[in-house]
Structure 1
């Protein structure tokens, strides 16, 4: 199976969020740091379909998994 590489901007677009640099930065500033005891897909700022997408893609180790991991890491750090 061939894996595709997705960019942060593509993940944000897939989630229905602003996907330009400023939109991504604003999202990270607003929602980080995410406490370590909360799974990414369980964060309170996702709607039901966003959470389902994140969970399904991670479980299936789909081609989105790598960029979802990057988002998870980014949200665990304090962004100014």
Structure 2
């Protein structure tokens, strides 16, 4: 089975966010998380977004790698 590597722009599309290069940069610049807060528990996610991030991470889905990338970018 071949794994799928999603780019960060696809994750932003999946989350219903501006997936343009500028939109991604602006989101990351304006949303900083403390190290102890799990990504899915951030206050700026809707319940559906938080659930997608949590399930994608916990199930080690094909989204897990790009979710981790977003997590690191927000620290």
TM-score by length of 1: 0.91
Partner of 1:58: 57
Q: How many residues align structurally? A: 75
Unaligned stretches of 5+ residues in structure 2: none
2:19 pairs with 1:42: no
Q: By how many angstroms is 1:37 displaced?
A: 1.1
Unaligned stretches of 5+ residues in structure 1: none
Q: By how many angstroms is 1:2 displaced?
A: 2.2
d(CA) in 1 for partners of 2:66, 2:46? 19
d(CA) in 2 for partners of 1:16, 1:2? 26
Partner of 1:74: 73
Post-superposition, which runs of at least 4 consecutive aligned residues in structure 1 deviate over 3 A? none
Partner of 2:12: 12
RMSD, aligned CA: 0.6
d(CA) in 2 for partners of 1:5, 1:15? 16
